[in-house]
A and B are shown apart, each in its own frame.
Chain A
Amino acid sequence: MTAPSADLVEHTARFCRRLRAHGLPLGPGDTLDATRALGSVDLVDREDVRLALRATLLKRVEDSPVFDALFDSFWGGPVPVPRNPPVVPPDAEEERESPASASQRKRTLESWQELEELAVPAPSSREALGRQDFESFGDDELRAVTALARRIARRLSARPGRRWKLSRRGEQVSLRRTLREALKTGGELSTLTYRRRKLRRTRLVILADVSGSMDLYARLLLQFLYALQNAFSRVETFVFATRLSRVTDELRTPGYREALGHLSERVQDWSGGTRIGESLSSFVASWPRLVDRRTVVVVLSDGWETGDPEVLGEALAVLHRRAGRLVWLNPLLGSPGYEPLTRGMQAALPHIDVFAPANDLASLEQLARHLSL
């Protein structure tokens, strides 16, 4: 290996910074590796240089286009074709309104609270309740929703996994441990040690759209989120319209109305426009540790995206890779003849595992099936 010149080190470091600025996860060690790698290839050979940098600086194939474009522009070569600028859809103007003002927000929430107090005769059976759309929903269904949330929580609760752990009483004798113990007593098998399967815990992350277009459904969905948050401890709830807010703690307040009160203080963009992509990207960026293979991520939205659908697609691709399952619940999917043709939905579909309706209780009931990993 030849020692690289100071110029080369400097140039490589600059290239790494450029890559980092474009989102590639590189540390100082990678710069060092890249420089060392360049020391062991033929520097006059452009392809050698490209492959050496690629092996050391590219960490996943998804970043390959970015890497190639930057390499070409940085190390001399064909000028990269600029990515198409996002096309502004004709309908974006009206939807991209400023977030609802605080007073308006409060009014929306208050109207829900009022509805809460209206006494509406309870539907006689669960089916009857289940068939109603959220938009025409009565009001003491909070109890029904709570019961549903409990059922879902039971489905989600721990199930035996594949790893073993020692336990006083268990399903199997742990031969390894028992024999280990027996060594103490000179090979006499005096006590048996047992083992059993470690429990596998599923976690739930809910990302709910509370923009204007979801208003019809938002009230019941909120009840659902509230009930779920309180029935099951491993739930994290986020809401978004134009930006993302974590509302786990707000929802965990005892009393539905108090929770709504806290929410109105916390969330600044109720009934605003929708930027699903940006909101999900900020979730991916700010809460990377929340999603792993034992996490089910549920996105609750009608898919009316006013931002760049490409951003949405990218954020979902990341979530899809990290999560155990990615579920998209769309209230519109329950209406006959609905087809997911919006640009947002089109960008989302390739990345989601389960696409299901969420317009009434019956559809939420179905949800339970998709939630256990």
Chain B
Amino acid sequence: MEKNNPKGFLYLLPAFLFLGFFLVYPLIDVFVYSFQENYNFASQTYTGVGLYNYAYVLHDPYFLQALKNTFLLVLITVPLSTGLALLISLCLSSIQKLRELFQTIFFLPYVTNTLAVGLVFMILFRKTAYSDGFVNLILNALGFASVDFLSGPYWAKMLVLCLYTVWIVMPFKILILTSALASVDQTYRNAARVDGASKGRIFWRITLPMISPSLFYLVITGFIGAFKAYSDAVALFGTDLNAAGMNTIVGYVYDMLYGNAGGYPSYASAAAILLFAIVLTITCINLLVSKKHVHYV
């Protein structure tokens, strides 16, 4: 093999160009924007350098609402979806027949268009003058009163958003956990069974520690994904998320950039950097916690 083949750079050139223009340069620039005060989009001028953009964002009631919504969404959906996925994967791994069929069905939400299927959720939950919608029909049958899920009380809107988010993220989690469970060495379980360990004990003492790296991976990606929630909310509540009171941090960033309230890349940059400071902190905490509880074989 030639030791020094400058043609290598030629092969890398397209990747360099694309990544440089659309990934590296923007990453640097977003920090620059976030410190430029009173940046004018049309004339590209600014009046000063400082922390005003951050102060503005942190005092903006829309941002605080988005922060609250996002944190609630994360705290509810990550444990719920991970736990549910674990339960379903355990069930999947203990059957032989029909397993592929169930796996195929469970994966379907992954390949659907979030915006399109969100509309189906919207009509299932929606209460209009003409009809209370399908979900309310079930609630009525169970003896509860109808709830206006999409333009009613805050908890109802949050509930729908959480349910849709869980529905969307489940396929990935089930897939990862099922393959993790499949790779658990059966010798340990058989040995434990010979020794008379109960099913529960085998799960807590053998299966769970063996799949803990995958579980932990899902918790981390789950946190990161849920913090970036946006299009699920748009699908359910429309593009004007601030009016619905259901905006997320990412939604706030895009609204600042474009749309009715848009044209402020500086505020958008400051909000985006704040979001990633939060995500980075949470991920670091996760990593610290995992050192104690995750077993890498």
To the question of whether A and B form a pair in one complex, the answer is no
